[in-house]
Amino acid sequence: MPASFSAFFTSSRAAAYCSSGARGKTDRNAAEFTEKLYFLKFTSDPASCPLCRISGQTTPVRGPDDRRYHLCGNCSVIFVEPPHHLPQAEERARYETHKNSIEDPGYVRHLNRLLHPMLPHLDRTMRGLDYGSGPVPVLSLLVRQQGIVCDDYDPFFADSPPRPPYDFVISSECFEHFCDPAGEIGRIRPLLKPGGLLGIMTERWVSVDRFGSWHYPRDPTHVVFYHADSFAFMCTRFGFATVWRDEIRVTILRRNEPGSTKGS
């Protein structure tokens, strides 16, 4: 499972990311300042939605543990209040216990849930990025076995700045770790060429009534949970269109061309 993109990425890692050339210096300074202002607001208002960044439209939801969860009425994410997020050191320690390996057929089958629907859209002239590659970057290795270039990025384990532009970005079991999903999606989009693909694997919630018995929030590193409607919101807000999705966990988005009005 990939590493979490915690609050430390928003503040201390932003400059390293931006040095990759995705934005100019003036835009970098403005973006970092805006993100820091938002993060201060978010942590001072724990019921503020981390995806749409709207306050006052959330309702409490019962989860499987004693963390505080809120459902956003605007974008349909369920999120954990920031005071219940793990400290960075504890979070990293949990990832270091993972034993993911290319030699594990069960884990490879799991990753292929994302890779197989992506492959018809890829070819060997393309370059991609595994965003949240984790301590053992198996997904990018599977892509490279197809003869396609794929870089790794992870704030804990592979923190060299990405080298955009990319034809595709893949992110397996990572989006649920984002304490600031709006900020992360805003950083991912400029990594893609216009028309580039974003492949996401994160299990989606279906019923608020069953959320308290769902296995996914039992992992203390999981802090945000998406509904199908959350991805429709992402398309409208961030400039993507839905290419494909399954019934449970995989969504493939395409970065809209400049001037496109498509949202999903």
- In what helix (H) or strand (E) does residue 17 lie, and over which residues does it extend? helix 14-18
The average confidence (pLDDT) of the chain is: 86
| pTM metric for this prediction | 0.85
The residues facing 198 across adjacent strands are: 169, 253
Neighbours of 15 (CB within 10 A): 12
Domains identified in the chain and CATH numbers: 7-255 (3.40.50.150)
Measured between alpha carbons, how far is residue 238 from residues 41, 77, 181, 186 in Å? 21, 16, 11, 7
State the first-to-last Cα distance of the chain, in angstroms, to the nearest integer.
28
Query: What percentage of the chain has pLDDT greater than the value 70?
Result: 81
Q: Which residue has the tokens 């493939």?
A: 252
pLDDT band at residue 77 using 50, 70 and 90 as cut-offs: very high
Instruction: Look at residue 38 in the predicted model and tell me its pLDDT.
Output: 41
